[in-house]
């Protein structure tokens, strides 16, 4: 905006004077980020209407009041990464692929004091890299960033990444952090970082101060639980070996796991990278009862530890016993979700064929449904259930499990699915379709279920897709973002006085209510193209010409979610639409308008052509 335009706005509203510099920055060509519309570019300023014309993604030529934009929109500097992605795309793409640390440096240099919080930086990088690729890219990029001497990496998400004025080596930075903290957990983590930074080969003798600090933490700190103490002892022993120190420290790793009753709690929290070492340590410390201990750990295992336990048992000659145990657990309904997940993921593996062949059966599907239902009933949040996800995403899984089923068994399992608490209604329908493909008679279950549900909604394909997109946005974007916001707000302290936490929880309630409503509506929806609409009477998919108060108008009546007043398109669920339904040419319909009624005479009916 030029100075004359800015002066005109300020003259009209003197309160804008304090924002003069921000208004002046809103000039054609400038890139912006709006709180609601996201990233865009100012194309021009329309003086007659005093509106900025901005191109946003999916909304070109959008007019906006500059006064309103002051509090809702930021003008980005030329060196901001989002701007450079548009103006210097090739260079930014090269940095993403080849030099992520430099990309982060240049991202931080666009902020005041060359610093940005973890959340601020990740939001920008996700937009630059692409939401779908970002998570995987960032997990790799963070390692490069942590090793770059120019960048100070924060310990907490509420702190900042900073571009240092004077670069320092990773080893010196870790030593500085180690000496400045008294936290036992932090010292153990830093000692591990130090060994990783030096490749565990060039660990200097003067790192003995770190060794002593870790040894003292493992021995004396009351901050550590058993798994943290064990892991700290392992880091201590590795460091002692690296610096050539005599290892006579206590407690030893064997002493920490001496009581087998402590092992499930230790295994549940032990870091992934230590899981295989834990199993070896158990075998060394408890050689006689190791087999029984390992099977008990497998029964309650989670995630990667499930795989580690199974591989360890097979490698140590327990494959036949493992197969028998899994079959027994299946019969006893003691197969838990992580083990079930491992079984279905590996059912086609040649390595585990002998182990799993007898398990791939309808009984396993029953166990899966039971585990999903149990997890859904135990969950206090909207977190996803991995076992339910793989059942939905792996289109061959249900056919594989039903390959030996008889119709009665399949029908019982379909009934179990319909009553399961772990699936959304739309997902249930999709899974039932897989049952029906194998056992067509199960269709009667779906028909009976549909009769018991609310009235179906007739909708157009375009409106259904919009509704479905809205639902996907809530489930895949807004709810996860809200969960992050809750977690971040929780870190700020006392929840009773934490307004950010309360607001985030309120947002969660709204999002969950919207999700439930959309699920119900989408479950009731029946998509139609209206090509078969009858013209004998008014119905969805017809254009009806009516005369009211001497004026003739034509209304297009479409699906429940359609409506465009400017084009006289109305839903059959509106007051006027429902009043006209079923009426014929020549009929007169009374429609309530405001405090009175108006007579609508039907002149003609014709079919809508999409």
Pairing relationship of beta strands 542-548 and 596-607 according to DSSP bridges: antiparallel
Q: Which tokens hold the place of 425?
A: 């209604």
What pLDDT score does 431 carry? 92
How many other CB atoms are there within 10 angstroms of residue 388's CB atom? 23
Q: What is the CATH number of domain 457-528?
A: 1.10.287.180
- 376-403 mean pLDDT: 82
Q: Does residue 426 carry a pLDDT above 80?
A: yes
What pLDDT score does 497 carry? 57
Higher pLDDT, 596 or 75: 75
What pLDDT score does 452 carry? 46
Alpha-carbon torsion angle 274, 279, 284, 288, nearest 10: 160
Pairing relationship of beta strands 457-460 and 525-528 according to DSSP bridges: parallel
What percent of the chain lies above the pLDDT cut of 70?
A: 93
- 107-121 mean pLDDT: 90
Which DSSP category does 403 fall into? T
Biggest alpha carbon–alpha carbon distance for the chain: 104
For domain 3-75, which CATH number applies: 2.60.40, 1.10.3710, 2.30.30, 1.10.730? Answer: 2.30.30
Put residue 599 in one of left, alpha, beta given phi > 0 → left and psi -120 to 50 → alpha: beta
Mean per-residue pLDDT of the chain: 86
Q: Does residue 367 carry a pLDDT above 80?
A: yes
Spatial contact of 48 and 34, defined as CB atoms under 8 Å apart:
no
Q: Does residue 487 carry a pLDDT above 80?
A: no
Per-range mean pLDDT, top range of 283-297, 500-514, 568-582? 283-297
Distance CA 367, CA 249 (A): 47
What pLDDT score does 505 carry? 75
Distance CA 346, CA 50 (A): 63
- 212-237 mean pLDDT: 93
Higher pLDDT, 495 or 151: 151
Q: End-to-end CA distance of the chain: give it in Å, rounded.
A: 43
Break the chain into its structural domains and give their ranges.
Answer: 3-75, 81-168, 457-528, 542-607
Alpha-carbon torsion angle 349, 350, 354, 360, nearest 10: 30
Q: pLDDT (tens digit, 9 = 90+) per residue, 147-193?
A: 888 998 887 878 899 998 888 777 777 888 888 888 999 999 998 88
Protein fold of 542-607: Chitinase A; domain 3 (3.10.50)
Q: Does residue 204 carry a pLDDT above 60?
A: no
What pLDDT score does 498 carry? 60
199 band by pLDDT with thresholds 50, 70 and 90: low
Return the minimum-mean-pLDDT range out of 47-61, 367-381, 474-488. 367-381
Q: Does residue 316 carry a pLDDT above 90?
A: yes
- 539-553 mean pLDDT: 88
596 band by pLDDT with thresholds 50, 70 and 90: confident
Distance CA 315, CA 325 (A): 16
What pLDDT score does 201 carry? 54
- 438-450 mean pLDDT: 71
Distance CA 267, CA 301 (A): 8
Spatial contact of 601 and 590, defined as CB atoms under 8 Å apart:
no
Pairing relationship of beta strands 160-163 and 115-117 according to DSSP bridges: antiparallel
Q: Which residues touch 67 (CB under 8 Å, ≥6 apart)?
A: 9, 13, 16
Q: Is 509 helix (H, G, I), strand (E, B) or coil?
A: helix
Signed CA dihedral, 361, 364, 368, 370: sign only: positive
Protein fold of 81-168: Arc Repressor Mutant, subunit A (1.10.10)
Q: Which tokens hold the place of 107?
A: 């991202």
- 57-74 mean pLDDT: 88
Higher pLDDT, 120 or 502: 120
Q: Does residue 284 carry a pLDDT above 80?
A: yes
What pLDDT score does 205 carry? 47
């Amino acid at each position: 905006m030029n100075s004359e335009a800015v002066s005109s706005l300020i003259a009209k509203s003197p309160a804008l004077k304090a924002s003069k510099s921000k208004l002046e920055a809103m000039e054609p060509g400038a890139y912006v980020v709006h709180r609601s519309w996201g990233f865009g570019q100012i194309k021009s300023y329309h003086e007659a209407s005093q509106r900025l014309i901005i191109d946003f993604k999916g909304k070109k030529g959008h007019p906006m009041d500059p006064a309103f934009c002051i509090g809702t929109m930021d003008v980005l500097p030329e060196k901001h990464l989002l701007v450079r992605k548009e103006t210097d795309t090739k260079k930014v793409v090269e940095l993403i692929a080849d030099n992520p640390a430099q990309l982060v440096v240049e991202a931080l240099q666009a902020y005041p004091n060359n610093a940005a919080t973890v959340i601020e930086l990740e939001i920008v990088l996700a937009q630059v890299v692409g939401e779908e690729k970002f998570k995987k890219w960032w997990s790799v990029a963070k390692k490069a960033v942590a090793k770059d001497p120019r960048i100070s990496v924060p310990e907490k998400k509420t702190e900042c990444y900073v571009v240092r004025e004077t670069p320092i080596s990773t080893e010196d930075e870790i030593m500085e952090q180690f000496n400045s903290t008294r936290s036992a957990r932090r010292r153990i983590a830093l000692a591990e970082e130090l060994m990783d930074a030096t490749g565990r080969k060039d660990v200097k003798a003067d790192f003995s101060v770190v060794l002593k600090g870790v040894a003292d933490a493992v021995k004396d700190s009351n901050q550590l639980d058993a798994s943290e103490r064990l892991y700290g002892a392992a880091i201590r022993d590795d460091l002692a070996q690296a610096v050539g120190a005599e290892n006579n420290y206590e407690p030893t790793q064997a002493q920490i796991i001496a009581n087998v009753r402590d092992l499930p709690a230790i295994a549940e929290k032990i870091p992934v990278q230590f899981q295989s070492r834990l199993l070896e340590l158990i075998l060394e410390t408890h050689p006689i009862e190791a087999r029984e201990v390992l099977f008990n750990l497998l029964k309650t295992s989670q995630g990667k530890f499930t795989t580690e336990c199974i591989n360890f048992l097979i490698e140590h000659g327990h494959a036949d016993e493992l197969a028998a145990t899994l079959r027994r657990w299946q019969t006893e309904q003691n197969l838990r979700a992580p083990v079930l997940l491992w079984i279905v993921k590996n059912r086609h593996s040649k390595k585990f064929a002998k182990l799993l062949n007898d398990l791939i059966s309808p009984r396993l599907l029953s166990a899966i449904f039971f585990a999903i239902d149990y997890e859904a009933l135990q969950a206090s949040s909207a977190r996803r259930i991995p076992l339910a996800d793989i059942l939905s995403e792996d289109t061959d899984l249900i056919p594989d499990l039903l390959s030996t089923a008889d119709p009665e068994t399949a029908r019982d399992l379909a009934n179990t699915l319909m009553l399961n608490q772990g699936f959304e209604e739309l997902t249930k329908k999709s899974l039932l379709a897989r049952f029906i493909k194998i056992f067509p008679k199960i269709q009667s279950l779906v028909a009976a279920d549909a009769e018991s549900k609310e009235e179906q909604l007739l909708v157009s394909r375009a409106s259904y897709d919009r509704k479905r997109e809205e639902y996907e946005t809530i489930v895949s974007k807004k709810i996860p973002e809200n969960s992050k916001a809750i977690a971040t707000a929780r870190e700020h302290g006392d929840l009773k006085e934490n307004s950010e936490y309360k607001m985030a929880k309120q947002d969660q309630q709204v999002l969950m209510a919207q999700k439930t409503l959309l699920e119900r509506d989408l479950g009731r929806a029946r998509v139609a193209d209206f090509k078969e609409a009858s013209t004998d009477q008014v119905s969805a998919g017809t254009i009806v010409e009516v005369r009211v108060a001497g004026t003739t108008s034509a209304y297009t009546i479409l699906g429940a979610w359609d409506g465009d007043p400017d084009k006289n398109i109305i839903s059959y669920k509106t007051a006027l639409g429902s009043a006209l339904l079923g009426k014929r040419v020549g009929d007169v319909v009374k429609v309530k308008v405001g405090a009175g009624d108006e007579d609508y005479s039907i002149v003609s009916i014709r079919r809508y052509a999409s």
